[in-house]
Amino acid sequence: MDYIKIRFSNEFEKGHSKVESAIEDIFRSINPMFSLEERTWKPSMDIYETKDDIIIRAEVAGVDKNRLEVEISSRAVKIFGTRQELPRSSNATYRLAEIQYGNFERILYLPTHIDTEDVSTAYANGFLEVRLAKQKSDKTYTIPVSSKKRT
């Protein structure tokens, strides 16, 4: 089985400001090829959880698995990569061109802490699946209360 690259980190780099992202999203909804920066796109994703795991599925058809990367922290996952544009026919008139190419990046904040040592990925039929084990609940300890004051 081939694996997707996984990098562990505590913080993710700051990207666009919220205003820039909002403006870009407005224009991209009008024309998906519009971007304030290099051509980017946002793959559709599902995130759901079971008793023990959080599962993320990303629709990344046409992305070579060697161009996919996943970074995780205990509370967030960053999935990014590149989809290369297919060669266009020079002697054809395109009537519709909706497939988006270029770089993509998604940061997903998780509903609970995860165990960064227990992560697996799979890529098949255009879908990337990231399975993250939930961090086990902390144990509760009873601490005796003393009547003597510490000095």
* CATH code, domain with 72: 2.60.40.790
3-state SS, the chain, equals: CCCCEEEECCCCCCCCCHHHHHHHHHHHHHCCCCCCCCCEECCCEEEEECCCEEEEEEECCCCCHHHEEEEECCCEEEEEEEECCCCCCCCCCCCCCCCCCEEEEEEEECCCCEEEEEEEEEEECCEEEEEEEECCCCCCCCCCCCCCCCC
Whole-angstrom Cα distance, residue 76 to residue 5?
A: 16
Please compute the mean of the pLDDT values over residues 9-18 and round it to a whole number: 52
Q: What are phi and psi of 27, to 5 degrees?
A: -70, -35
Domain containing residue 107: 5-13+43-84+101-134
In a 13 Å sphere around the CA of 30, the CA atoms on its Cβ side amount to 7
Predicted confidence at residue 23, as pLDDT, reads 67
* 142 assigned to some structural domain: no
Per the domain annotation, does 55 fall within a domain? yes
The answer as to whether 60 is a domain residue is: yes
Number of independent structural domains in the chain: 1
Q: Is residue 37 part of a domain?
A: no
Q: Read off the tokens for 83.
A: 């989809």
**Residues 122-135 pLDDT 10s:** 999 999 999 999 98
Tell me which of 107 and 34 has the higher pLDDT. Answer: 107
Is position 62 within any domain? Answer: yes
Average model confidence (pLDDT) across the chain = 82
Place of tokens 């690259």: 5
Q: Given pLDDT bands bounded at 50, 70 and 90, which one contains residue 13?
A: very low
Residue 143 domain-assigned (yes or no): no
Is residue 23 situated within a structural domain? no
**pLDDT the model gives residue 35:** 46
d(CA 11, CA 147): 43
The model's pTM? 0.67
pLDDT band at 26 (very low <50, low <70, confident <90, very high): low
Q: Is there a domain that residue 35 lies in?
A: no
51 falls in which pLDDT band (50, 70, 90)? very high
